[in-house]
Each structure stands twice: as structure tokens, then as C-alpha cells.
């Protein structure tokens, strides 16, 4: 799953290893089939009508904006109600306003950098997060004022890769690198990878609770976590696919400040 941050959702997990297109046997057959249609007007007309109907149906089912802000149904995220065939209203999370004051959740110091992670209640049933550092850093774009990020509750039946939430991350122009991520309950170990390939262990063998925060001079783009039962998840920023991509300046330059996604390892 590649949508875990309400930031510009570009190219998550793509374009990292471009390759030359190869014409498959299926593609060749398609070309032969297309040539046959030109020889048969009636068949071509039937195909055109079929494609038109399919396009109209798809337009009503699938979103056309690949960068659209995720929407959640109240049946899953808020009320917990469910039912076959039920039509639930949606919540537009493209713009959220914090309702209450921000309160410090976690704070610390990394070298000469002091930081604090703050949380507030947002409208539309969300929780909002923001990172504050000194010297001042720049957060990646969020969906609330001050580049804060606001999320609805995680659904009870959510897939495990949808449970981690990257609630704060630095932007490309920030001179301070950071990431704050809410990990699944029972997470036993977290390792954070920065640009250049260096990994730092946040906690090894201990059960973690609350958000995990990493702050450093270089941008973190990889978070590796071990769950109960030795299951492992990795959350990556931008176009990162493998931990070795952290050493590729082209890939890292196109990943800082982008959306994060998580996969099972």
C-alpha cells in the first residue's frame, strides 16, 4: 500500500528502476488484432461501442486523480457500522482544521537540535500532528495549517501495512531531517535508514508504544520495524524500493518530502 502520508502523493514506489519496454507476445497479438479490425468495419464499431461503455463505467468507479487525498467512510473509520450494499458518506480530508490546542507528545534532543512532536484534535474526526524543531526545520506538505498532518482513526479491520502512520517528515528544503511514525502495537524493534545508507536502531527487543521519532542532519527515508511473531514491515519515502536505494542520490533527491508507503518484508 502506498498511501500513508497526506503530502504530495507523487511516484510512490515507481520510476526507481526504469527499464526499456519489451514487446510481449500479448502486445504483438494486440497489434494483429487491431489490424484485423480495420479490415472489418462492423467489428470495429462493436469494439468502439464496448470501449465507450467500459470507459463510462470505469469513470464512475475509479478516481481519476492519482494524487487525490484519501477518503474514508464513516462506516469504517467513525461509526464502525457495516453492511452489504450500504452506502456510507465520505469524509474529505484534503483540508482539515485543528479544533483544540496542540500538546506535546514527545520531545528530545539530537546533537544541537531540540525537537518536540505535538498532537491536537482535528475536525472531521481526525487527529492532527506537527513537528517543531530548533533550529527551525521545514515539514513536508500536510493537509492542515502549518503543514500539519491530520488522520482519521485506523479501521479495526485495516490491513497491517495500513496501520503505521507517518505523522511528520521533513521537506526537501529542510536543513534538518526527521520522521515521526506511529507504529503498530507490540512493535519490538525499529531501525531508521538515512540518505547515504546509515541505519540507526531506535529500540531493539523492547515493546514500543506511541510514535517513534528520529531526528538527524540527513533525511530519513526508510523505517524498518519488527512486529510480534517476527513479522516485519518497512515504510519508505518516495521512490525507495530497497534499502540500498538510500545510497542513490538520484532516487533520494526525488524522495525527500514525498509520500510514504509501507510494505511487508
Q: What cell numbers appear for 48 in the block?
A: 468502439
Could you report how far apart the first and last alpha carbons of the chain are, in Å?
Answer: 13
Please give the model's pTM, rounded to 2 decimal places. Answer: 0.67
Euclidean distance between CA atoms 232 and 38, whole angstroms: 53
Predicted pLDDT at 50:
56
Euclidean distance between CA atoms 73 and 148, whole angstroms: 22
Instruction: Tell me the average pLDDT of the chain.
Output: 75
Q: What cell numbers appear for 3 in the block?
A: 498511501
Report whether pLDDT(17) > 90: no
Predicted pLDDT at 185:
86
Residue range 226-251, pLDDT digits in tens? 988 778 999 999 999 999 999 999 99
Euclidean distance between CA atoms 125 and 89, whole angstroms: 13
Predicted pLDDT at 46:
54
Closest CA to 217 of 111, 126, 139: 111
Report whether pLDDT(66) > 60: no
Poorest-confidence range of 15-24, 118-127, 132-141, 209-218?
15-24
The residue ranges of every structural domain in the chain are 71-80+87-264
Euclidean distance between CA atoms 104 and 108, whole angstroms: 11
- The per-residue DSSP string of 109-158 comes to EETTEEEEEEEEEBSTT-EEEEEEEES---BPP-SBGGGBEEEPPPPTT-
Closest CA to 163 of 155, 174, 171, 175: 155
Closest CA to 219 of 249, 179, 181: 179
Question: Who's near 49: CB < 8 A, 6+ residues apart?
Answer: none
Poorest-confidence range of 82-86, 140-144, 167-171, 197-201?
82-86
Mean pLDDT of 158-173: 93
Closest CA to 242 of 9, 16, 12: 16
Distance of CA 157 to the CA centre of its chain: 18
Is the distance from CB of 4 to CB of 162 less than 8 angstroms? yes
Instruction: Quote the percentage of the chain above a pLDDT of 90.
Output: 54
Mean pLDDT of 58-75: 35
Of residues 22 and 146, more confidently modeled: 146
Q: What cell numbers appear for 224 in the block?
A: 524498518
Report whether pLDDT(135) > 70: yes
Under the banding of pLDDT at 50, 70 and 90, the label for residue 47 is: low
Poorest-confidence range of 10-19, 74-83, 174-183?
74-83
Predicted pLDDT at 6:
43
What's 50's DSSP letter?
H
Pairing of strands 177-182, 90-92: unpaired
Of residues 236 and 18, more confidently modeled: 236
User: Residue written as cell 452506502?
Assistant: 87
Euclidean distance between CA atoms 148 and 119, whole angstroms: 9
Pairing of strands 113-121, 103-110: antiparallel
Report whether pLDDT(206) > 50: yes
Closest CA to 193 of 217, 220, 212, 216: 220
Predicted pLDDT at 121:
96
Q: What is the CA radius of gyration of the chain?
A: 22
Predicted pLDDT at 100:
87
Is the distance from CB of 145 to CB of 124 less than 8 angstroms? no
Amino acid at each position: 500500500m502506498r498511501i500513508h502520508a497526506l503530502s504530495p502523493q507523487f511516484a510512490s514506489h515507481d520510476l526507481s528502476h526504469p527499464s526499456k519496454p519489451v514487446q510481449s507476445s500479448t502486445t504483438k497479438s494486440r497489434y494483429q488484432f487491431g489490424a484485423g479490425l480495420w479490415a472489418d468495419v462492423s467489428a470495429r464499431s462493436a469494439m468502439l461501442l464496448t470501449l465507450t461503455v467500459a470507459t463510462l463505467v470505469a469513470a464512475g468507479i475509479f478516481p481519476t486523480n492519482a494524487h487525490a487525498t484519501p477518503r474514508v467512510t464513516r462506516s469504517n473509520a467513525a461509526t464502525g457500522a457495516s453492511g452489504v450494499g450500504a452506502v456510507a458518506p465520505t469524509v474529505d480530508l484534503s483540508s482539515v482544521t485543528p479544533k483544540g490546542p496542540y500538546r506535546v507528545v514527545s520531545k528530545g534532543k539530537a546533537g544541537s537540535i531540540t525537537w518536540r512532536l505535538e498532537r491536537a484534535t482535528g475536525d472531521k474526526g481526525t487527529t492532527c500532528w506537527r513537528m517543531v524543531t530548533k533550529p527551525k526545520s521545514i515539514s513536508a506538505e500536510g493537509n492542515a495549517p502549518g503543514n500539519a498532518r491530520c488522520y482519521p482513526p485506523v479501521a479495526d479491520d485495516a490491513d497491517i501495512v495500513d496501520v503505521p502512520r507517518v505523522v511528520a517528515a521533513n521537506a526537501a528544503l529542510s536543513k534538518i531531517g526527521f520522521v515521526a511514525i506511529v507504529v503498530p502495537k507490540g512493535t519490538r524493534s525499529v531501525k531508521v535508514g538515512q540518505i547515504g545508507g546509515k541505519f540507526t536502531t531506535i529500540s531493539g527487543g523492547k515493546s514500543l508504544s506511541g510514535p517513534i521519532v528520529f531526528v538527524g542532519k540527513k533525511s530519513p527515508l526508510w523505517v524498518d520495524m519488527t512486529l510480534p511473531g517476527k513479522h516485519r514491515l518497512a515504510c519508505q519515502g518516495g521512490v525507495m524500493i530497497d534499502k540500498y536505494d538510500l545510497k542513490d542520490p538520484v532516487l533520494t533527491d526525488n524522495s525527500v518530502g514525498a509520500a510514504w508507503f509501507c510494505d511487508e518484508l
